[in-house]
């Protein structure tokens, strides 16, 4: 009797060891496997949707003066950038400045019937050559599946400014960000500060809005295994996504079939028979 009891106890312990994998509790083993939809699977490392390295970008730009107390300044121009790497680039930009005296000055002059601000200086044009550094690339989830991909950049370089027929050399610094809308276009918002000497230190601050068009339109992901070419046409993207999802579904089915074909775990009765023999 004691011998049979010892055999039964040994079989119970052995079955418990075989049925509980290392590092898992009994509750975790008994828990049914949860099937996660493909759209909810998270990839730890994802490729960027936009690459700049080795590409030119160009486009129009509109600027609004921020710090002139007497004149409204509007700058119409453009920018050309060559992106040496994903983080570094060099740009050349320039524009023509439209200006209009602020309304309160005209009201005062109409009351006193003479020009009380004879020393107002008008900006005429501006250009710069600057280095651009993009240290941050990220994405912003606006609503549900609508995600904006963007980067933040800093700039610094040399600047030239036309003021009342005279040329004023100086320097420029700025900060901005780009929002990538397609494979070959982005929207930029930026702040620039043009610093120059004019009877002392002076600066001309601008808030700019612009577009960037990238050439070539295509870009490639290069890895140690293979090169993946990203096309710019939007109608190809859903097809590629469906192919990836189909492949993942097939891999999931194959894994489930392997698990179903695996031999069943030994039961308590089988272990008792083996120990009895």
CA distances from 95 to 75, 98, 212, 213 (A): 6, 10, 16, 18
Residues 232 and 205 in one domain: no
Cα–Cα distance list, 233 to 190, 217, 239 (Å): 28, 10, 11
The two tokens of residue 171 are 């320097």
> Does residue 185 form part of some domain?
yes
Same domain (yes/no): 105, 192: yes
Residues 199 and 243 in one domain: no
| pLDDT, tens digit only, all 277 positions of the chain | 555 555 665 556 555 544 444 444 445 545 555 555 555 555 444 567 788 999 999 999 999 999 888 888 999 999 999 999 999 999 999 999 998 877 777 677 666 666 666 577 888 999 999 999 999 998 888 776 778 889 999 999 999 999 888 999 999 999 999 999 988 999 999 999 999 987 788 889 999 999 999 999 877 766 544 444 554 444 445 566 667 777 778 887 777 777 777 666 655 555 555 555 5
Helices and strands (H and E) in the chain: how many: 5, 10
Same-domain pairing of 108 and 227: no
Domain of 102, CATH number, reads 2.40.160.20
Judgement on whether residues 93 and 174 belong to the same structural domain of the protein: yes
Q: Which residues pair with 121 in a beta bridge?
A: none
Domain membership of residue 194 (yes or no) is yes
Residue 102 lies in a domain: yes
User: Which of 163, 187, 217 is the last residue before a domain boundary?
Assistant: 217
Residues 143 and 245 in one domain: no
Residue 4: per-residue pLDDT: 59
251 and 134 together in one domain: no
Residue 248 lies in a domain: yes
What does the pLDDT read at residue 188? 96
State whether 230 and 199 are in the same domain.
no
Structural domain contains residue 31: no
Examine the domain organization and report whether 93 and 141 are in the same domain: yes
Q: Quick one: 141 and 91 in the same domain?
A: yes
Which residue range is the domain that position 249 belongs to?
223-257
* CA distance linking residue 245 with residue 231, whole number of Å: 19
Q: Residues 100, 140: one domain?
A: yes
Task: Please report whether residue 36 resides in a domain.
Answer: no
What is the number of domains present in the chain?
Answer: 2
* 144 part of a folded domain: yes
Same domain? For 180 and 247 the reply is no
User: Is residue 152 a part of any domain in this protein?
Assistant: yes
């Amino acid at each position: 009797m004691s011998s049979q009891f010892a055999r039964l106890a040994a079989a119970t312990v052995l079955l418990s060891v075989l049925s509980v994998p290392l590092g898992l509790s009994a509750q975790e083993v008994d828990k049914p496997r949860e099937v996660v939809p493909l759209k909810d699977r998270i990839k730890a490392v994802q490729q960027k949707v936009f690459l700049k390295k080795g590409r030119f970008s160009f486009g129009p730009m509109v600027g609004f003066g921020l710090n002139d107390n007497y004149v409204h300044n509007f700058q119409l121009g453009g920018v050309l950038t060559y992106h040496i790497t994903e983080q570094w680039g060099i740009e050349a930009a320039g524009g023509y400045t439209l200006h209009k005296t602020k309304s309160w000055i005209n009201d005062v002059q109409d009351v006193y019937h003479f020009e009380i601000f004879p020393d107002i200086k008008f900006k005429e044009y501006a250009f710069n050559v600057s280095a651009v550094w993009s240290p941050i690339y990220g994405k912003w989830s606006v609503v549900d599946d609508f995600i904006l991909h963007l980067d933040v950049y800093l700039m610094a370089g040399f600047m030239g400014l036309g003021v009342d027929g005279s040329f004023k050399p100086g320097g420029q610094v700025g900060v901005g960000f780009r929002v990538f809308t397609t494979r070959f276009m982005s929207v930029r918002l930026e702040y620039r500060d043009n610093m120059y000497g004019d009877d002392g230190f002076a600066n001309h601050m601008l808030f700019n809005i612009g577009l960037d068009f990238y050439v070539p339109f295509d870009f490639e992901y290069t890895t140690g295994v293979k090169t993946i070419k990203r096309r710019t046409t939007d109608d190809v993207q859903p097809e590629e996504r469906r192919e990836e999802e189909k492949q993942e579904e097939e891999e999931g089915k194959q894994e489930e079939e392997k698990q179903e074909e695996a031999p069943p775990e030994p039961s308590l009765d089988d272990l008792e028979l083996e120990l009895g023999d």
